[in-house]
Chain A
Amino acid sequence: MIAADIISDGLFAAVAAMGFGSISDPPMRAFKYIALLAALGHAARYCLMTFLGVDIASASFVAAFIIGTGSVWAGKKVFCPMTVLYIPALLPMVPGTYAYKTVFSLIMFLQGISSPTQGSEYLQAMIFNGAVSFSVIFMLAVGATVPVFLLREKANSMTRGSRYI
């Protein structure tokens, strides 16, 4: 049952990554690797958060690191820069709900401004949602960039000798 949960999590994350990625017009040859990386990363984050109780930001960092490292390997195969592979793969993990709930809490705070108790509750919700969304986005991007820092030369010559131009 646990295995089925993990696999279905990866599977739906892969579909989400391909779909959200397709909005930004990636090369057709990159799709299968985007799906693979997104599935690995999202399933890893799911395992860390559900079974090991890791917080969302650290789990996102680990997942992004896996995706970033995978994109070094896959980028060389399809002659795509790392960002072309890892940004779409990260998209399902971008904390969209937290981001717009930050704005909602602000609106509700302004509506309940005359009642101090209610007002402070919404203000707290705003800081909570804002902090989570900012740190997760930050950790996602940094986690995926760490392999670039470690492998400067290799990471910057992914498209060298491309067969596709």
Chain B
Amino acid sequence: MEQKNVVEIADFIARYLSYMLGAGVHTSRVVRNSKRLGDALGVDVSIHTSQKTATLTVMDRVGHVKDTRVLDIPVFPISFEWNADLSALSWAAYDRNMTLDEVKTKFEELVSKPKMNPVFVLFMASLANASFCRLFGGDIWAMLITFAATMIGFFTRQHLARRHVNHYIVFIVSAFVASICASTALTLGLDSAEIALATSVLYLVPGVPLINGVIDITDGHIQIGISRLVNALMLIVCIAIGMSGTLMLVKDSLL
């Protein structure tokens, strides 16, 4: 294989790898899939990952031509659809002996699929938080208030995120907005007002990075696992700050 071909393959694998890591796929799957893709295209792939960058070496098996690079990992919203589709792509390339051009075309097609409708997500997240309120023992009125509060809070989050506001600020503001809306339950004197207030911010909890972090740690990717957990922890601190703003206003006490 010529240097030119190895560079071309490395270009593509770098793109594949950064899309997967950026969309919140756990590390061992990304590494495994990239190696499989390399296998399909006839090269060896070695990867070192960290939270914001990754190092990639692609080596041809016969001529020992190499290409090494450091790449930045872009920030995408978490996408399980990409996780499923790009994993399937690596198997398809492996099983069907696809050429590099075929794999590239398929990749572009998969990542440009339309995302889920934001209004649908808004509705589903509000419904989810309302049923969460029920799981914690809230009555129907508490559920309704949680539903409305989540809807307003999540709407705020979507709009701030679209304007590329810093995500810590997004979390603080949306936690504050959701909890201040839910605090109307206290004003109305509902029995389960406390539950409505406590569950109104739970749609923000970064569950996916938390679980991904522990999965990475159990797989032996301890550094990136801890990075993910620390990242999630920062977001939880932001939720608590936003919510404590409300609690200080309406209750004078946090616990």
Contacts and interface: CB of A to CB of B under 8 A. Distances in A.
A157 B131 CA distance: 34
Nearest to B96: A161
B240 A15 contact: no
Contact of A157 (B79, B91, B92, B255): B91
Most A-side CB within 10 Å, residue of B88, B125, B219, B253:
B88
A108 B255 CA distance: 8
B29 interface: yes
B88 A19 contact: no
B134 interface: yes
A164 B88 contact: yes
Most A-side CB within 10 Å, residue of B87, B198, B211, B219:
B211
Nearest to B110: A165
Chief secondary structure at chain A's binding surface: helix
A36 B24 CA distance: 24
Nearest to A129: B255
Contacts of B12: none
Interface residues of A, number: 59
A122 B144 CA distance: 32
A141 B131 contact: no
A9 B110 contact: no
A42 to B, nearest CB: 8
Contacts of A88: 80
A142 interface: yes
B210 interface: yes
Given A25-B78, A156-B32, A9 B92 contact: no
B205 A83 contact: no
Interface stretch (B44-52, B57-65, B115-123): B115-123
Most A-side CB within 10 Å, residue of B80, B81, B85, B213:
B80
Contact of A142 (B128, B218, B240): B218
Contacts of B244: 104, 107
